[in-house]
């Protein structure tokens, strides 16, 4: 899988559309960079760009954006509400997929060195890229802002990590770093900038100073008035949304606003947000209001509603949630076929898809029928007394069914790995050794997939039994078919393990898997019989 790194440079220009567009073009025209979002503020006179790509591409994109800013932004003319000390004020790199913070810190250092040498600008490193602890926090580096930078650069303590230790009036300075995903979250206050700032001071980690810290960790916040919205805002950066979540901050702002007798009118997320943060908010409100929601789409709708994310502009999940933006379609050609095409493919003159894929289909069909029966019972007036019980049944069956679907294609891919080994040359001793190792690895993969199918199917039996015991009697035949299908799916997966196990050379591996698989197959037969007995009358 590709490495994906996010870069979120902030530029001190939010009013001149030509300049904003020029920087966007520089990023877009960099090969391998995908520009995800542009967020400009007139009052802040600041634009935040969010783009992603592989490490080298992101580095090139950031440099291209910096070059463009060097040509078009003159800090001597800049005025705005947001703290800043440079034309390209900050340039953080964030790990998104198949990478880590260390690699992002390395890219930040490369960017700082190259930008300083080419553009002759001072660059400071911050957060995880910082060389010194006292430079880790961005507010410390930016303290004094642009207006105080000339004096600050005279202090040897604040010599830039890269570039000249002198004041460049038209540019200022840039901070480059590596950090966790930062969420820029603004909460709308129907009051004054002073009231919004009082709320921010009470909540942000720094509070009003060392002797009066705020209540929420990993939160930086101020209050301001946004003329174009005709509203004040508590504007916050959540440095670690797993420490202080967006919904926690929102609820705390509501409490503070109520104490001041001012209204809260929703919120806005600036730039991109991780799916996890939105689902955390949804789960909070689901628990708070005793709701029962399983589908991800509905959870997102709930979070949008409860947080008021549509109050300024429409919150489009596919454009605002980074997981959706960078996701690739699942590699599931069999699972995505029409039912007719899948059956015809199974019946074709080919050994794959075969019994393993069909076993996964049957197991998924079985748990799916169990989920259906429970869902047809939940929410029906005559079965309201079973509401809590049905919720406990539905969730695992709903999740297991979805987890079994990828096994349909995984089984075929696992078989293909073995076939690749079988087709390798075997003339020399080395070729024979390599061929055997590849085939043994392929066999173990071919065993691991049906074994996972068995374990997933087995985890559904307790919920299946309860669906049979308490489910809507009108769906009796559905749960019977479901039990048989699940049992057959597990049995079929077991047979695939047995046939592939014959050629395994590792006897310890062989004994361990066979013992577990036999136990799961036996339990499947027992549980299916139990369900059928429950439904006899």
Check if 398 is active-site: no
DSSP for 248-285 reads: HHHHHHHHHHHHTT-EEEEEEEES-B-HHHHHHHHHHH
Cis before 338 (ω within 30): no
C-alpha 339/C-alpha 337 separation (Å) is: 6
Q: Count CB-CB contacts under 10 A for residue 286.
A: 19
User: In sequence order, what are the residues at sequence separation of 6 or more whose Cβ sits closer than 8 angstroms to the Cβ of residue 288?
Assistant: none
DSSP state of 386: G
67: exposed, middle or buried (Cβ count in 10 Å: 0-12, 13-18, 19+): middle
Q: Of 268, 363, 393, nearest to 320 (Cα)? A: 268
Taking the CA atoms of the chain, what radius of gyration do you get in angstroms?
Answer: 29
**Cβ atoms of residues 222 and 207 within 8 Å:** no
Residue 264 tokens, joined: 């809260």
The Cα-based distances of 372 to 100, 221, 476 in angstroms read: 41, 47, 11
The Cα-based distances of 289 to 72, 284, 306, 380 in angstroms read: 51, 9, 11, 20
User: In sequence order, what are the residues at sequence separation of 6 or more whose Cβ sits closer than 8 angstroms to the Cβ of residue 276?
Assistant: 241
Q: Which of 39, 161, 409, 411 is catalytic?
A: 411
DSSP state of 227: T
Q: Of 267, 251, 272, 265, nearest to 316 (Cα)? A: 272
Chain-centroid distance of CA 338 in Å reads 29
Q: Count CB-CB contacts under 10 A for residue 145.
A: 15
User: In sequence order, what are the residues at sequence separation of 6 or more whose Cβ sits closer than 8 angstroms to the Cβ of residue 153?
Assistant: 122, 159, 160, 165, 166, 167, 173
| 3-state secondary structure at position 430 | helix
Q: Of 218, 1, 3, nearest to 95 (Cα)? A: 3
The Cα-based distances of 64 to 22, 36, 84, 405 in angstroms read: 10, 16, 21, 43
Q: Which of 78, 82, 197, 247 is catalytic?
A: 82
Angle at 26 between CA 25 and CA 30, to 5 degrees: 110
Q: Count CB-CB contacts under 10 A for residue 470.
A: 17
Count helices and strands (H / E) in the chain. Answer: 19, 11
Q: Which residues are catalytic?
A: 82, 411
């Amino acid at each position: 899988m590709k490495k994906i790194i996010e870069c979120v440079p902030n530029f001190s220009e939010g009013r001149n559309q030509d300049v904003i567009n020029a920087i966007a073009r520089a990023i877009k025209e960099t090969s391998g960079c995908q520009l995800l979002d542009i967020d400009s503020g007139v009052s802040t006179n600041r634009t935040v760009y969010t783009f992603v790509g592989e490490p080298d591409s992101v580095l090139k994109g950031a440099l291209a954006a910096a070059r463009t800013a060097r040509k078009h932004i003159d800090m001597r003319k800049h005025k705005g509400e947001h703290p800043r000390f440079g034309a390209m004020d900050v340039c953080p790199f964030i790990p998104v997929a198949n990478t880590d913070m260390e690699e992002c810190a390395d890219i930040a250092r490369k960017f700082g060195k190259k930008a300083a040498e080419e553009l002759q600008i001072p660059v400071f490193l911050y957060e995880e890229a910082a060389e010194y602890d006292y430079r880790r926090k961005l507010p410390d580096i930016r303290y004094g802002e642009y207006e105080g930078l000339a004096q600050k650069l005279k202090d040897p303590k604040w010599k830039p990590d890269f570039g000249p230790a002198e004041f460049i009036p038209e540019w200022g300075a840039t901070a480059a770093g590596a950090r966790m995903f930062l969420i820029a979250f603004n909460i709308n206050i129907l009051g004054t900038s002073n009231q919004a700032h009082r709320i921010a001071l009470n909540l942000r980690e720094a509070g009003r100073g060392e002797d009066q810290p705020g209540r929420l960790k990993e939160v930086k916040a101020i209050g301001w008035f946004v003329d174009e919205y005709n509203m004040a805002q508590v504007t916050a950066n959540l440095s670690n949304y797993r420490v202080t979540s967006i919904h926690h901050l929102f609820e705390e702002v509501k409490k503070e606003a109520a104490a001041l007798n001012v209204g809260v009118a929703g919120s806005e997320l600036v730039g991109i947000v991780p799916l996890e943060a939105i689902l955390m908010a949804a789960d909070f409100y689901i628990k708070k209001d005793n709701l029962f929601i399983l589908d991800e789409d509905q959870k997102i709708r709930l979070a949008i509603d409860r947080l008021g994310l549509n109050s300024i502009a429409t919150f489009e999940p596919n454009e605002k949630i980074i997981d959706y933006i960078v996701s690739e379609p699942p590699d599931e050609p069999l699972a995505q076929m029409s039912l007719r095409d899948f059956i015809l493919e199974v019946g074709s003159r080919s050994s794959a898809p075969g019994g393993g894929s069909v076993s996964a289909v049957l197991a998924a069909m079985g748990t799916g029928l169990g989920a259906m029966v429970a869902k047809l019972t939940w929410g029906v007036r005559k079965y309201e007394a079973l509401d809590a019980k049905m919720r406990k049944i539905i969730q695992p069956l709903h999740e297991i069914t979805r987890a079994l679907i990828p096994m349909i294609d995984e089984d075929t891919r696992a078989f293909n790995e073995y076939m690749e080994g079988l087709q390798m040359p075997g003339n020399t001793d080395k070729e024979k050794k390599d061929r055997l190792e590849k085939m043994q690895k392929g066999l173990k993969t071919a065993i691991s997939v049906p074994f996972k199918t068995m374990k997933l199917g087995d985890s559904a039996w307790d919920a299946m039994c309860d669906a049979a015991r308490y489910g809507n009697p009108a769906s009796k035949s559905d749960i019977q078919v479901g039990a048989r299908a699940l049992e057959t799916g597990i049995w079929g997966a077991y047979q695939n393990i047995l046939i592939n196990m014959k050629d395994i050379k590792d006897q310890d591996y062989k004994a361990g898997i066979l013992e577990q698989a036999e136990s799961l197959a036996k339990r499947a037969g027992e549980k299916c019989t139990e369900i059928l007995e429950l439904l006899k009358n």
